[in-house]
Structure 1
Amino acid sequence: MDKDAIRKQIIATANRRYATQKFDPHKKISDADWQTILEAGRLSPSSFGYEPWKFILINNKQIKNDIRPFSWGGANSIDGADKLLLILARTDVTYDSPYIKHLVEEIKHKEYSPESAPSQHFKAFQERDLAIDSDRALFDWASKQTYIAMANMMTAAAELDIDSCPIEGFNYEKMNRYLTTRGIINPQHWKVSVMVGFGYRNQPIKPKVRQPLSDIYKTLD
Structure 2
Amino acid sequence: NKPPKPATKVAKEDLKVTNDYDKVVKEDDRDGVVYLALIGGGSPAPNDCGLIPSNPAAEWTGWGGPLNCDNCTIGEGATTRNEIVIGGTYFPRGIGVHGTAKYVYNLTGGPAPYARFEGYVGMSDEKDPDGCGKGGTSGFTFKLDGKEVFKSKTLAGSDGDKNVPPLKVEFDIPATAKNLEIEITDGGDGISCDHSAFGDAKLLTAIAAVESADKLPAAWGKIKVSY
Give 1 or 2: higher helix fraction: 1
TM-score, length basis structure 2: 0.27
Give 1 or 2: higher strand fraction: 2
Q: Kindly name which structure, 1 or 2, has the bigger radius of gyration based on alpha carbons.
A: 1
